[in-house]
Amino acid sequence: MRSNSRRHTGRRALLTGIGLTAMLAVSGCSANYWPDFSGSPEATAEAEPAETAGLAPVPVSEAQTQKIIDRIALAAAEGDETLDAASIESRFKGDALAQRTANYKIRSAVPEYGSVPATITNEMLGYRLVQSTESWPRTLFVTVASEAGTDADGNATDAPSLALVLTQRLPQAEFRVSRVIALRGGLEMPKAAPAEEGTALLSDDIESLVLKPADVGAAYAAILQGGADVAEAEPFDLTDDPLLDSYGKAWADQAKEKSDADEKTQSYSVSVAQGEEPIVSFSTGAGGALIATTVLESQVVDSAGGRYKPQAEGAVSALSGLTGQQDKIVRQVAHQMLFFVPNKEDGSKIQLLGVTSELVGAGN
């Protein structure tokens, strides 16, 4: 892929940065899947997978992609500054829109709220997948640079590289971002055929992968809810997993431990499930698939009939309208996730390449 001399200062050999949650480097992926970003992508010498054979011409060029990203970055910049979700509705949809809409609502009501989404820039990085199709909808996968944001405690984060999933539903319609995923520091993206050759979207029930795309988010949800020892964890590489220490079972255990230390009687539980937004699965053209999905986590704090009741305040009040003591409070966190799922014959495990986590709902 050629770099844009007006915007790019060079290819990044490594997609660095951390997401909106703590991101740690990980190793263990088969080296066969990692490209060298120091030059233009080369076509793989491996046999072309059946699912990508006979693809239609690629409908979106690099220059066209740049214009799309320019417009998305402008819309996001306006929304991030004004905290007005109407500013991004023509360019965002699905979980990407829900994430920013909730964040804007919280920050409008609670100015001191620390969690600020990473700024989406128009600097495309050296990784792009384009669905090869002559019809609609049309889907793109584009990596871009960001500018640093802050976490929920107000601490500055490194600027993560972002993976954007974009879809054009109909001719002449705008491409809209359905997911914005912060890529994990220390990881490189799976090897893929050049964007100019195009790629295929895979069906949710394709059998050639370690797990069917339909099952990946559900399996990870089971891990987050039950911990790394559940049976569903077997096909995953959970080395330095960025969520398991802070979300799901870990959140409930840590909250209960603190409650017990404070001699309170509140109970804590969590339920995690794959979200309802469509799964997007790209063939890399070089073996395996990139799978973007969303996992929704419901964190429940219950008074359990005792005199200590959870307080609705801050972000919870902004999203729910509740204030003061409640018998029960439920917080919903959306994890937008990107996985690399290898072919069954490869022998490698599923890798979590990136995640963006945001409080998106609350109630009782």
pLDDT digits (tens), the chain, 364 positions: 333 333 333 333 223 322 332 222 222 233 232 333 333 333 222 333 334 445 567 889 999 999 999 999 999 999 999 999 999 999 999 999 999 999 999 999 999 998 999 899 999 998 999 999 889 999 999 999 998 766 666 676 678 999 999 999 999 899 999 999 999 988 878 988 888 889 999 999 999 999 999 999 999 999 999 999 999 999 999 999 999 999 999 999 999 999 989 888 899 999 999 999 999 999 998 789 999 999 999 999 999 888 899 999 999 999 999 999 999 999 999 999 999 999 999 889 999 999 999 999 999 9
Return the half-sphere exposure (C-beta side, CA atoms, 13 A cut-off) of residue 159.
9
Closest CA relative to residue 174, chosen from 140, 201, 131, 133:
140
φ, ψ of residue 311 to 5 degrees: the values are: -100, 130
The helix (run of H) or strand (run of E) holding residue 293 is strand 289-302
pLDDT at 78: 98
pLDDT at 22: 28
pLDDT at 45: 28
Name the residue type at position 26: V
d(CA 119, CA 35): 26
pTM of the model: 0.83
d(CA 14, CA 170): 35
